[in-house]
Structure 1
Amino acid sequence: MAVALQERIFASERFDEALALEVFRFQASACEPYRRYIELLGLNPFEVTDIKRIPYLPVEFFKTHRIWSAASDLEPETVFTSSGTTGSETSRHYVASTALYDEAFTRGFGHFYGLAEGWSIFALLPSYLERTGSSLIWMVERLQAKNRACGGFYLYDHDKLTADLTAASQKGEKILLIGVAFALLDYAEYLSNQGIELHLPSDAVVMETGGMKGRRREVSRETMHETLKRAFGVGAIHSEYGMTELLSQAYSTGEGLFRCPPWMRVSTRDLQSPLQPLAAGKMGGLNIIDLANLYSCSFLAIQDRGIVYGDGAFRVLGRIEGAQLRGCNMLIE
């Protein structure tokens, strides 16, 4: 059954609600923690005929349970882990098919930016490079490999990054500079201190992946983007929205307004009544359907709050205070 479902994930140019219901019924049986969670909610999966009634598993379960919807005798091809903070639990995403992840991020990137082969990708992702198990590093490495002309990972080597960006600009390369927020701000500060003006091509993209990771004082997305626009001489700062527990990404081409690829959908839930979905335009907790999560769980309640608009685009407004849903976790401990 799972193989047949996998073949249909990327087949449609629009979100396939019928497929989502089939994936839900499959995971309601195959994923033991999700099955128990649904049972404790008193739901019969076969009576759920509207995706609005699908329950979303709190994403914290990836920290405390093996979220696995593949055959019991199948070993994961890899395990992605979250960064976490010292002493905190980290999420573990057991990935049964790395090929499925590769196809998801390649198609997702292509949906918004065209073929990765057309881009020279420069990455400032130090906090991810300094540990193992990062799904973001896996993604960027493989996107970079599709165009070996320029680019790479630069850790803290701002001198080399500047030289390589300048050379790529002079050669007319199509440039994507992707980085975690604090690393891009550090690089912007370096350019300012050195009196360097980058002259990137007009079609260059600077993309932040969020996160200060305790390295810098938190600032609003708007303030951060203004700083980066001035530093890099671009008209907009793009953003990537992804996480360890998801195999797909949403992208913003500016102003913090994210859009999803066709097999992914975001909605909101009432913060006081988490099983209650909200109408478009209402602020609430974010729920995400990621059909590429076929072998784990595709229906996740994320601990970010935001607004989803009528066309499916969404904004992230920050973390939900007291985000650890320990009451929900205790349901199936």
Structure 2
Amino acid sequence: MPERDSLDLELQAYIENGINDDARFNELALQLFDYQYRRNAAYRRFCRSRRAEPGRLLRWEQIPAVPLTAFKDLTLACEPPEDAAAVFMTSGSTDPSRRGRNYHPHLHLYDASLRAGFARSFLPDRRTMRMLVLNPRPHQQPNSSLAYFLGRLVDFFGTEDSAYLMDGDDLQIDKVVAALREAETTGEPVALLGTSFAYVHLLDALEQEGLTFHLPAGSRLLDTGGFKGRSREVSAEDLRASFMQSFGIPAPWCINYYGMTEISTQYYDNTLRDALLGRDIRSRHKTPPPWSRIRIIDPETGANRPPGEKGLVVHYDLANRGSCLAVLAEDSGYDVLTDNPEDGGFVLLGRAEGAEARGCSIALDEMLQANRP
């Protein structure tokens, strides 16, 4: 069996197993680093500049993390880009001429991560559910990881009466209202899925019409994204309050997820899972699944920040086999402490500013310097 196929099977088995095994994660991360070092030329040059080579590293924490912006400036792929089964691209809202690209030779690992993570954090009590999607269909946004993600959720977990309620950029308010009224009548719980800004648009329209709903118990809501490039922003707390007021969905059942084009795993709020397990919800934070790790680092030294102290977010994602498993985000956050370490996680604070932003710039300069002729 070719090395690539063998590695893919090992990674997929670990993702689908769903058991948090530090020793096995470390073994697979070092194995994947070795593969990406040999196959990804731009990444290899960067690692050599840091004297990080296979055989010299003992822990996953030592694997060099690629700065997020490098995906805009370099081709970070382990196989020929022209052979990619999918190319996910950033929106380019900051600079349309420069869009980050993540090349996927196949989507087996992406799908495995998507299925396991969603079932673990959003549907731990159900196998399927009617899904109402406030986003265009995947074929309307072929390079959008978000559109692909939501489409596969419908494929894997949606009942036959699930529906997409946007056509391009047009949110079909009448269809949303009809679907929500139907849910109230039948008593069957529904799941609302969409971007934060789509919800703001919907909430504004419902308020204008004086419409509110009391969706059946067990209904839930997933939102993602921020308001970059938008003229209006709404805090997460205000959004959850509006969800309760407009849909009757309690705050713990309103889940935000954090994902990026440049990685292949999503991070969900802990609250729905904790509520179903009868746990006391002391904080709202993102929980990394077993096939991913998060480090919160000092932007100057690269050392781990103590819990509660702000730093840069670094992702280590075993599902991101096609490019780089270690990615330095342009976001800041902090670790949280819980009674059970396996239920810990991190709080996302938003785009890096100040020292954290300078740390991202320095990392990018180092990456580009290593790849200059």
Same-fold status (TM-score > 0.5)? yes
Please list, as runs of the form range in 1=range in 2, the aligned pairs for 1:268-307 lying within 5 A after superposition: 268-273=296-301, 275-307=302-334
**Partner-residue secondary structure (3-state), 1:193:** helix
**1:121 to 2:127 alignment:** no
Shift of 1:2: 2.7
Conserved 8 A contact 1:180-1:212: no
**Partner-residue secondary structure (3-state), 1:62:** helix
Q: Deviations over 1:154-191 (max 9, x none)?
A: 12111111101221343343311011111101111211
Counterparts of 2:207 and 2:214, CA distance in 1: 14
**Partner-residue secondary structure (3-state), 1:206:** strand
Shift of 1:14: 0.6
Conserved 8 A contact 1:269-1:277: yes
**1:199 to 2:199 alignment:** no
Conserved 8 A contact 1:119-1:174: yes
Conserved 8 A contact 1:251-1:258: yes
Please list, as runs of the form range in 1=range in 2, the aligned pairs for 1:84-233 lying within 5 A after superposition: 84-85=92-93, 87-112=96-121, 113-114=123-124, 117-125=127-135, 131-146=141-156, 147-155=158-166, 156-233=171-248
Match of 2:7 in 1: 5
Counterparts of 2:244 and 2:81, CA distance in 1: 50
Which runs of 4 or more aligned residues in structure 1 lie more than 6 Å from their structure 2 counterparts after TM superposition? Answer: 127-130
Conserved 8 A contact 1:221-1:256: no
Conserved 8 A contact 2:287-2:346: yes
The gaps in structure 2 that reach 5 residues or longer are: 272-282
**Partner-residue secondary structure (3-state), 1:178:** strand
**Partner-residue secondary structure (3-state), 2:300:** coil
Shift of 1:45: 2.8
Q: Name which of 245, 252, 268 aligns with 2:262.
A: 245
Judge which range, 109-118 or 279-288, deviates more: 109-118
Conserved 8 A contact 1:144-1:151: yes
Counterparts of 2:6 and 2:67, CA distance in 1: 27
Counterparts of 1:189 and 1:302, CA distance in 2: 32
Percent of aligned positions that are identical: 28
Match of 2:336 in 1: 309
Match of 1:330 in 2: 368
Shift of 1:127: 11
Counterparts of 1:168 and 1:73, CA distance in 2: 44
Match of 2:56 in 1: 47
Q: Which amino acid aligns with 2:247?
A: F
Q: Which amino acid aligns with 2:66?
A: L
Q: Deviations over 1:233-287 (max 9, x none)?
A: 22112111111111111111446411122101111111233x3333333310000
Shift of 1:105: 0.6
Shift of 1:8: 2.4
The gaps in structure 1 that reach 5 residues or longer are: none
Q: What is the aligned-residue RMSD (CA, Å)?
A: 2.4
How does the TM-score come out when normalised to structure 2? 0.81
User: In structure 2, do the counterparts of structure 1 residues 111 and 140 end up closer, same or farther at CA, with 3 Å as the change threshold?
Assistant: same
Counterparts of 1:47 and 1:276, CA distance in 2: 19
Q: Which amino acid aligns with 1:263?
A: W
Judge which range, 299-308 or 264-273, deviates more: 264-273
Q: Which amino acid aligns with 2:227?
A: M
Shift of 1:231: 2.2
